[in-house]
Chain A
Amino acid sequence: MAFVLASLVLMTVDHRYRHLEVVRAGLSVLVLPLQLAVNAPFQLAQWASDRLATRRSLMDENARLRAERLLIDARLGRFSDLEAENRRLRELLDSSSRVGERVLVAEVMAVDMDPFSHKILLNRGSRDGAFLGQPLIDANGVMGQVVHVTPFSSTALLVTDPNHALPVQVTRNGLRAIAIGRGVSSGLELAHMPLNADVRVDDLVVTSGLDGRFPSGYPVGRVSQVRLDTGRPFAEVRVEPSAHMERNREVLLVWGAGQGPGEVARTPANPGKGL
C-alpha cells in the first residue's frame, strides 16, 4: 500500500514540478552502463563496417564527398555573402541581428525508450553543455528538444510527441501557427487553424522563433494534408516532418546566439531562456 502511495506521489510530482530531475539524473547514471551495454553491439557493428570497408568503396565515397563538398562550398559562398548583406540591411533597419548558432554533433544511442512517447537517448550530457529545452536538429529540419539531462547523456522529446508544441510559420505567407505532435504515427498537426486560413498542401513550415527557445527559420516540415470540414471549428492541417526522425544516427544540438557550452553550464537553473 505504501509503495502504491509512493508511486502515485512520485508520478504527480514528476508530472507537475521539476524537483525530481535530480533524482532522475542520479538514477540515470545508474542505468547508463545498461544503456551503454545495449548500445555496444550496434556501435561495434558500426565500427566494423567502418573498418572493413574496401579501399575501392572508400575511394568512391571520397570522390563523391569531394564533389558534394565542392557543390556545398559554392552554395555556401553565396550564402555567406547573403548573410553579410542581410546583417547590413538589418543594421540599417535597426533590428536585432541574428548571430550564427553553434552546434554540437550528438549520437543517438540504440536504446528503445517508452513506446508511447517519442523520445530518444543522446550520448551528450550536461558535461558537454547540453541543457534543458535545448533544440535538436538534423540536416533536414527540427527534431525536438532536450527534456532530461544527466552528466553523460540526455533524453530528447521529438516534435512528433503529442506533448510537444512548436511555434511555426508558413514560409509562403508568414502565417503563424502552433505545430503539435500527433503521436500515433510520426507527423505533426497545426492546431486551431481557422477554416479560411491560407494553407496549401506542400507549403514549407519553419520555426518562427517566437518561443525564444528554437532558433527561427529551421524547416519543420511540409504540409501534407489540409482537410476543411465545415462541421468543425478548425481546419485539420497535417505536416510531414522534414527531419528523419527514426533513421538518424547523428543529430545536432544547437546553442542559440550568445549561448555557449561554457556559459550555459553556469546557469543551469534557467534553461533555454537566454536566446
Chain B
Amino acid sequence: MSPPSPRRGTVTIAVSFLVALMLTALPLPHWAEPWRPAWVTLVLAYWVLALPHRVGVGVGWGLGLLLDVLTGALLGQHALSLSLVAFLALRLHQRLRVLSPWEQGVSIFLLVVLDRALSLWVTGIQGMPTEARAIWAPALTSTLLWPWLFVVLRDVRRRYQVS
C-alpha cells in the first residue's frame, strides 16, 4: 500500500467538527441543557490524540473562534479554552493513547472540566451568574459518551483512511 498523502481526510475531519458544532447548537429541552456534552471538546480531543501531527493547538483555536460566534459568546472565550485543551491533549497524547477508552474517559473528564471552568471563568468576569453544575454536568455526560464517540470516530478514521 502506498503511503497516504498528508492531505488525505481533511474533509472528514472538517465534517466531524461541523457535526460537533451543529450538535452544540441543537436546541435541547430546558432541563437537559446543562447536561449537553461538550461535543466540540470531545471531537477535538479525539483528533488530537489520533493525529497529533495534523490537529493541534491552532485548529483548536480556530474551532473555538467558530464556537464563540455560533453561541454568541465573547470572541476568544472558547478559543482560549479549546486551545488549552488541544495543548494538553497534545502533550499527553503518548500516555493517553495506550489506555483503554474507558480509562481515557477519566482524562477526558479532566479536560472537559478545564474547558468549562475556563469558559465559566470568562463569563464570570463579565459579571454573569454562573453555577458549579455547569462545570461538572457536561464533564460527566462527556465522560460517559467518550468510549462510544471514540469507537465511532475510529471507525470513521479507518473507513476514510485519515492519517
Which A residues lie at the B interface, using CB under 8 A? 3-4, 6-11, 13-15, 20, 23-24, 27-28, 30-31, 34-35, 37-38, 42, 110-117, 119, 121, 147-148, 155, 161-163, 183-184, 246
Contact = CB atoms under 8 A, between A and B. Distances in A.
A11 B74 CA distance: 6
Contacts of A155: 72
B75 A112 contact: no
A184 B134 CA distance: 12
Category for how many chain B residues contact A: 35 or more
Interface in B115-163: 120, 122-123, 126-130, 134
B58 A3 contact: yes
A163 B26 contact: no
Nearest to A182: B129
Given A3-B58, A34-B18, A110-B27, A115 B34 contact: yes
A110 B27 CA distance: 6
A38 B25 CA distance: 7
B64 A115 contact: no
B61 interface: yes
Interface stretch (B79-87, B91-99, B103-111): B79-87
A115 B134 contact: yes
B127 A162 contact: yes
A246 B33 CA distance: 14
A115 to B, nearest CB: 6
Nearest to B118: A7
Given A34-B21, A112-B25, A116-B123, A7 B83 contact: yes
A163 B129 CA distance: 10
B133 to A, nearest CB: 11
B30 interface: yes
